[in-house]
Structure 1
Amino acid sequence: MKLKSLLFACSGILLGSLHLAGSAIGADRVTGESFATRSEVIAQNGMVATSQPLATQVGLDVLKQGGNAIDAAIAANAMLGLVEPTGSGIGGDLFAIVWDAQSKQLYGLNASGRSPLSLSLDEFKKQGLSEIPKFGPLPVSVPGAVDGWFMLSERFGSLPMQNLLAPAISYARNGFPVSELIAYYFSVNQQRIGQYPGFEQTFTTNGNTPKKGEIFKNPALANTYEKIATGGRDAFYKGDIARTIGAFMKQQGGFLSYQDMAAHYSEWLEPVSSNYRGVDVWELPPNGQGIAALQILNILELYDIEGMQRDSAEFIHTFVEAKKLAFADRAKFYADPAFNQIPVDWLISKEYARKRQQLISPSKASKRVDAGKNEGDTIYLTVADRFGNMVSLIQSNYRGMGSGMIPTDLGFVLQNRGEMFSLQEGHFNQYEPGKRPFHTIIPAFVTKNNKPLMSFGVMGGGTQPQMHAQIIVNMIDFGMNLQEAGDAPRILHTGSSSPTGHKMLDGGYISLESGFSEKTRRDLGQKGHILTDSVGAFGGYQAIMFDDKNKVYYGASESRKDGQAAGY
């Protein structure tokens, strides 16, 4: 297999060519693929890529003021909690992978929260539930994001938290214009959780969520951020904020308590990797789903992907069947390692991939696996600085704005990540007190020869490992540059065993973005695949790549959302 010189030289010049039928987004471009929305952003001193331009600018300002990538990532994440509360906020969890230029090593952070200690499996049985509700007090787990900020800052940061939260505090008090996509998701979330206390007060004006271009303010969140900035992480987990959360949840019939907040801690952990045709792809181990991307890539490496057309039933069938196998393992094994022995090394081994590949028929879609969940809005951001540090950070409330539980006058929604627990006794991911649920949000990183190459992520529930694998395949096998790899039409399969133990459509179904030909769709049907539309479910992408030869960063952002990559 001959690797494309793009990936190693990072020249940004596409050497290969791949035509995707029907993709006319950039048909008049004089360079690169026709489906590309723009060329890559290139800069020497630093790069920030987030899902909202205002957050990108906040991160860039921190870099210009002398902060490092970790500082800028925290500031940008705080800003996203304000400008994109439909997918993020301090009521949710956080995961990160950090390349530390000084030690020349990767570090992983799991800042996900645990289930309430006072809530038992018997309580769900007593309420006659076979699955945990999507909204309300029962799916709420401890929010881990704020502790994640302080863990990152204390180990790698260079600026005080007051400096990092100041921009978001200012925007929260003075207001910002709401973008088109966020205005849409505000209205969607009002239908989901608008009936809960605090939503109308916090997120509406005269009962209406903000429209595109309207100025939105969140003074309650500004006050909360100020308490965190001056009082540190204990202001959130052991101070008035924690007491407010505990009292509110009790009032709503929930179980998350002050004691649960005070007992929270995040964990540093070692990222795990698999080599794909010469590059090392890094993910975090469970309770997240990152190793599913590695399992998919290990199986795909056994095929001549470069010899296939991307717009072909052959490639899509091979990809989907590999995904089904990985997600079957995801459903069985991925859970909190503090409660289970998870065979991570075996699952991501090449030997195991060869065994699993034998189950794939080249001509027939498998029907033996059950569908998993693919819902959940998230934010992903990545930052690189002039010192060589790079951060891959992902953060979410799950299901858009989360549970609908908005603690009194705090300005944010608590997550509903606990919904991802299974209520089946004996399941690896069964509900237990003080346990971290199966998690969908995953940051990714790529190295070559033990040097940093690329920090990237794709938002969107169970979409994420599928898109991680597609980004790598797009660049390695199909010769795309950083922006093209994200712009290329995506493949989404919904259909493997669920981490909650529930079953859906046998064999699942494939959703293809516009840009794949009708012939390919017909050919997939002849192999036994079921195709369906799934508008808006293909995730959101951000990425930064380092060109070691020219000592510059390449940045790319998501055309499907409001993202921006910018550098200086």
Structure 2
Amino acid sequence: MRDFHHPGRSPVLAMNGMAATSMPAATLAAVDMLRAGGNAMDAAIAAAAVLAVVEPQSTGIGGDNFCLYVPAGQSKVVAMNGSGWAPAGATPERLRADGLDKMEATSAHSVTVPGAVSAWVKLNAAHGRKGLDEILAPAIRLAEEGHPVHPRVAADWEVAAAKLAKHPQTARHFLPGGHSPQVGDVFRQPALAKTLRKIAAEGARGFYEGEVAADMVATLQAAGGSHTEADFAAGIDIAQFVEPIQTRWKGLDVFQCPPNGSGMLVLSMLGTLGGFETPAGDPLSVTRMHRHVEVARLAYRDRDGFLADPSQVDVPVAKLTSPDYTAKLRALIDDERAMREMPPAGLAEMLPVHKDTVYLCVVDAEGNACSFINSLFESFGSGILAEKSGVMLHNRGFGFRLEEGHPNCIAPHKRPMHTIIPGMVMRDGVPLMPFGVMGGHFQPMGQTWFLSNHFEYGLDVQAALDLPRLFPYAGKLQVERGIPAAAIDRLARMGHQLEMIDKPHGGGQAILIDRARGVLIGGSDPRKDGCALGY
């Protein structure tokens, strides 16, 4: 139990349904949907749509979606890959002809056909109970009437102002008066409301065909993209139900979506960490942090070498998550010093030839459990707004490469390496906890850190989310301010190059299902503006 003398929040407990999201309005929309007779899937889509309005830097209908869902009374985990692909004209030759020698985050070439709407419609048809008109109503109302800008949203908006200023139509709407909105300013998006109404009435065709698609295509072509209306029309069925991947860890079954998502890193990291004895001391012991960081460095190295669209290249998931391989990774880790030189990806056996998000989870009274993530990738995605339709377009294609022969080299109708990953923990064939941690590239590190905090160190769901974080990225070990100074000093002397960061690592939500007592226990990350609520 937490020390009530110190700032913080307790886990939220309820007995019927619960939702945890990164914004209060989205959590409320989900709970309202549950109380109105909707199920966990209805509530998740309703919350995601609200987040697309009130947290516009992180998510939107111009982005992608992944989902894990366990229907009540079933042991089968359903997985949805709602990531989009590159347009038919997206070839390395075309991009080089346009002056690019690498992917650029604000280029129209980094905009893939958005997959979120296709995923929402397919998930609703397969597992929802309510119609899209009712599910999208809260988001439509907030887009039309406006909503107050929350503190974390305002902070992210200010940082992204230079990106938003690159395109006149974006600046007109997202930099009112020439600057980013302040905390408490009311922001309205009537064009987005109109588009949401079309989706509510027409389903995926209301987004991927007709005037909305024409507006997105015209906007992208004006910015130099190769996109066509035929590319978007093909996006109606772009989302796909896929077979999830899993690993056994500490008596639990942890499920992830398969590539092109980064879920295999979670499984690899858990496999590597699982062979260690739990270090002595508290969750912020130097040994614990050092081991976790070194494991992450190895896993992310493999990601950059192998993770791509499995429909176009072979991704060796089974090998990279196998006990034999993770044991070899574990043997590379020295508890006294950081690795100076990283071994090649795949330990030289299979070398290649040559970053914002919203996560939410919902559990309903029947026991349906939903783990749901939606994203524009970087803050405000590409920064390219399709003005007439109000759609901010993501930049998920920034995950591609232009390196010929690399598994993740851009190609027509290819999905890029993806960072967003919903998680699901099962025990004895029933869902125990939908969970997720946001933050672009941080997510596999964040998920494994959270799972270890809770299941290995015994922190409650909220405390496991609250615990300070660190992350090896771009050759540095990025450290939040809550990491103790003595630990920072010791990590530096072990050879880690530390970097103190201003923006914390990601955010997260989780709902623990306590079946023995009939209680739901939820947590929501203080690094965001959201909350968990139940009834």
TM interval, shorter chain, is over 0.9
Once the two structures are TM-superposed, the CA of residue 102 in structure 1 deviates from its matched residue by: 4.2
Which of 423, 429, 438 in structure 2 is aligned with 1:459?
438
Shift of the alpha carbon at 1:27? 5.1
**Is 1:413 paired with 2:392?**
yes
- Going from structure 1 to structure 2, the CA distance change for 1:180 and 1:326 (only over 3 Å counts) comes to same
Deviations 1:469-503 (A, max 9, x none): 011111122111111100111121114xxxxxxxx
Does residue 100 of structure 1 match 2:42? no
- TM superposition score normalised by structure 1: 0.89
1:18-167 alignment, distance < 5 Å: 28-29=4-5, 37-167=8-138
Cα distance, 1:371–1:171 mapped onto 2, change above 3 Å: farther
Which digits, 9 at most, give the CA deviation of each residue in 1:488-528, with x for residues without a partner? 11121114xxxxxxxxxxxx221222333222222212211
For 1:394 and 1:316, the matched residues in 2 are separated by 27
Counterpart CA distance in 1 for 2:504 and 2:243 is: 30
Aligned to 1:486: 465
Q: Is the 8 A contact 1:135 1:193 kept in 2?
A: no
Identity, % of aligned pairs? 38
Match of 2:304 in 1: 331
Task: Give the structure 1 partner of residue 367 of structure 2.
Answer: 388
Q: Are residue 169 (structure 1) and residue 140 (structure 2) matched?
A: yes
Report the residue type matching 1:441 in the other structure. Answer: I
Q: For residue 213 of structure 2, what is the aligned residue in structure 1?
A: 242
What letter corresponds to residue 359 of structure 1 in structure 2?
A: L
Match of 1:263 among 223, 228, 234: 234
How far, CA to CA, are the matches of 1:55 and 1:39 in structure 2?
Answer: 20
Asked if the contact 2:279/2:288 (under 8 Å) is kept, the reply is: no
The answer to whether the 8 A contact 2:508-2:524 is kept is yes
Contact 2:64 2:116 in 1 (8 A): yes
Q: TM-score, normalised by structure 2?
A: 0.95
Could you tell me which residue of structure 2 aligns to residue 544 of structure 1? 511
For 1:131, give the aligned amino acid. Answer: K
| 2:43–2:135 Cα contact (<8 Å) kept | yes
SS of alignment partner, residue 329 of structure 1: helix
Q: Match for 1:535: what amino acid?
A: D
Higher mean C-alpha displacement, 220-229 vs 256-265: 256-265
SS of residue paired to 2:424 = strand
SS of match in other structure, 1:263: helix
Q: Deviations over 1:109-164 (max 9, x none)?
A: 00000001012110222234221111031211101110110011000000000001
Would you tell me which structure has more helix in proportion to its own residues? 2
User: Which of 358, 364, 377 is the matching residue for 1:398?
Assistant: 377
* Corresponding position: 1:524 with 2:495: no
Write out aligned runs for 1:291-330 (5 A): 291-330=264-303
Displacement of 1:37 after TM fit? 1.6
Please tell me whether residue 231 in structure 1 is matched to residue 202 in structure 2: yes
Shift of 1:371: 13
Amino acid paired to 1:145:
A
Alignment match, 2:256: 283
Name the CA shift for 1:520/1:405 in 2 (closer, same or farther; >3 Å): same
CA contact (8 A) 1:482 1:556 kept: yes
CA contact 2:164–2:175 (8 Å) conserved in 1: no
What count of residue pairs does the alignment treat as equivalent? 524
- Structure 2 gaps of 5+ residues are 346-354
> Once superposed, what is the RMSD of the aligned Cα atoms?
1.7
> 1:252 is matched with which residue: 223, 234, 242?
223
Describe how 1:196-235 pairs up with structure 2 within 5 A. 196-235=167-206
Contact 1:306 1:477 in 2 (8 A): no
Check the 8 A contact 1:463/1:537 in 2, yes or no. no
Deviates more, 1:241-250 or 1:319-328: 241-250
- 1:505 paired residue number: none
Determine the C-alpha separation between the residues in 1 that align with 2:478 and 2:387.
Answer: 41
| DSSP 3-state at the match of 1:446 | strand
